[in-house]
Structure 1
């Protein structure tokens, strides 16, 4: 716990540096493109269109029939959240190894590097979330008090990405093949994140219900479904059918944060040699 508190303290004391590095990351990523920052939401927008053509029109999926939410709106909130978490997750894996020159000369703690990418990617997340909200309002879906829990799920998402960032960036230094492994794992997790299909449809036989219960243990599913709960007025995170998953989510986040901070502090002094 002391190691985790030390890393949190490093983040708080270097918050200004995190923000400056994040702005630099934005400019460096898009400086060679004519449209610049616009590509941060154009790429996911094209992917959303592709998934809608396949699953919304081709397979005629439905989002939440009981609430009469159009599939495109239901899908937008799921994909905008997933794209952000997936991009931040994978960027966090290589956040230390990709900054070898910076790591060797820097005057700030290495632990903030995964968070820098998280802050940088927020630009595209806000843009996609804004598009989702506009689509929701145009479709006639009202805003209710459930939107207040967006702040809770945003904090939960930040905690999850922070924990994974510390763990993944450290393990990737120790195990060079780790990024390739995580890339494959995230492709699998996409289909169990509930981003493009409704997991609650698995309510037929007992085996399907068991599979649905296992899928809902996915922390990425918890955030994706929670964002939909916030904007599409489905449920509160403390409701009876959500509470057990809320408790398990935070236990998982705490475990990853403690494990990641322990490994980070144990091997941090050797990062330069290992890279």
Structure 2
């Protein structure tokens, strides 16, 4: 099998282990971005992974809570999650679906799992908004699995495109100043993919099944399920599965905003004063 080389493959800058965490009404999860070892990767603020076949670990879900100043992108590999918010949006994502919510100037929402056959497996990404858009109107969209772009760019490589573009396949996510690139890449045993991570974007890779070697063939680094690899600067990335086993990985990248980041719980602004205003506005019912 011959795979055309990218002009240059990014390499792994560092590898970060996930941190056990709990959020919402006691939902147990793994925090990969937004933890002490990796507070953020501008403009990628947080990545949580939920993977449990024990309903007691997640069924209480995430009751109503506020957000301001950023976006949440929820990708559900398996399971069901219902969204409701105080701006009249309601939706249900199921296996392979995506919820994209732009909190903007303020929103209060709930995310509640609905059990079918037990397993809840998915990710939530927090994506920053630039200062000029932090107070924009909230926005919400459900994207069912059938609406996601799919392609097979090489033998043994199957790709789901959530945001950004890969060859002629473009994800259905909204256009944003951060130009997000979010793909789910499945590799058969021995398969190799040249992933078109946009040049200049901050990027990471999270293998969530198997292990994968990232980077040029002569200097690649093997990364295992459950870890997160922060990539160095550059453009595309080569990913290779072991000859004996396949792999599946989430690849996320965004154009850095290079603006101050001020975080307090569910609010992400640029200054401390803006955070204080966000808390005041929420308490006063102005979301």
TM-score, normalised relative to structure 1 = 0.31
Higher RCO (C-alpha 8 Å, min separation 6): 1
Q: Which has the higher helix share?
A: 1
Choose 1 or 2 for highest CA Rg. 1
